[in-house]
Structure 1
Amino acid sequence: MTTPAPAPAQASTEESPFDPHDFPQELREEQRRDAELYAELQALQARLPWSREPHDGWPEVEERGRASKGRAPSPGWKPDDAAAYDRLWEELRGATAAVQTHEWWGICERQGVKGADLYAARQALKHAPGAVPLAREDVAQTA
């Protein structure tokens, strides 16, 4: 007894459905740049004094049984730090605008991706391969 040969695969004339999470490489790179600038700005802010301008601060106050935390005096930022902060903010605004106004989102809308689905696609971009500066797997590999 012989086994029948499998039927030949039929060529599909239909295109695969549109995937709003199939982000173009350029958009992934722009998102990565945006994330890198954000991280750089956060790192700079973490080492700067709390006030850009010199400030005397204020003492901790307890009023009606509630304590309001005080602030130590701030020497203000050095001119180089202020310039770096302003430059990073400007670059971050530009990178964010490039991601938010990328033509991919218009293509998604023309393909019928709107509302919560478009929001989900925008959020998914932040975790897409190539759009994240450093993934946990990268840390594990280098450790």
Structure 2
Amino acid sequence: MSDATDTPSDPSNPFSFPPELVEAQKAAAEAYEALHRYQATLPWSRVPHDGWEAPTPAHGGALVGPQSSRPATQGWTSEQGAEYDRLWEACRTTSAAVSLHPHWATFSGADQFEARQALKRMPGALPAIKPVEQDDMATAV
């Protein structure tokens, strides 16, 4: 399959995206990025939790599989929960706008799949990458 073209008016070409579809994809990508950036600042549990320590092996043996531990947390504040819910709703809404766009109704199968993947990689549909600040990561615990 070819990459997206610069002629968004060709309804027979699945890679000829209408400008509003490209904008919708960009909005969806930005919403997803904002949600994940915000998640990085939140405690690991939405509700208060005592946390846990990774188990120690019995009789000096080795434990199989990944081991994890989590510190105790007070959970999220009501403001943090409201902001997370707002960002998650933005992800759902913008993703639905892309998925339900009339452009996709004309195509099916491999053409539609390849075109959807190409749309996600279009320069005009990608958000600007912002580095995660170290301070954001410090507040995540």
TM-score by length of 2: 0.75
Larger Cα-atom Rg: 1
Which residue of structure 2 lines up, in the alignment, with residue 129 of structure 1? Answer: 123
Which residue of structure 2 lines up, in the alignment, with residue 71 of structure 1? Answer: 70
1:129 CA displacement: 3.1
Mark the runs of 5 or more structure 1 residues left unpaired by the alignment. 1-15, 136-143
Which residue of structure 2 lines up, in the alignment, with residue 38 of structure 1? Answer: 32
Which residue of structure 1 lines up, in the alignment, with residue 114 of structure 2? Answer: 120
Which letter does structure 2 place at the counterpart of 1:65?
A: A
1:117 CA displacement: 1.9
1:17 CA displacement: 8.7
Which of structures 1 and 2 has the larger relative contact order (alpha carbons within 8 angstroms, sep 6+)? 2
| Residues 11-36 of structure 1: per-residue CA shift (max 9 Å, x gap) | xxxxx893211100000000000000
1:29 & 1:62 partners in 2: Cα distance? 51
The structure carrying a bigger strand percent of its residues is 1
Which residue of structure 2 lines up, in the alignment, with residue 56 of structure 1? Answer: 50
1:73 & 1:19 partners in 2: Cα distance? 54
Please identify runs of 4+ aligned residues in structure 1 that moved more than 4 A: none
Conservation of the 8 A alpha-carbon contact between 1:52 and 1:82: yes
Aligned counterparts, 1:12-23, within 5 A: 18-23=12-17
Identity %: 46
C-alpha RMSD of the superposition? 1.8
Conservation of the 8 A alpha-carbon contact between 1:31 and 1:131: yes
SS at match of 2:56: strand
Which residue of structure 1 lines up, in the alignment, with residue 5 of structure 2? Answer: none
1:17 & 1:33 partners in 2: Cα distance? 23
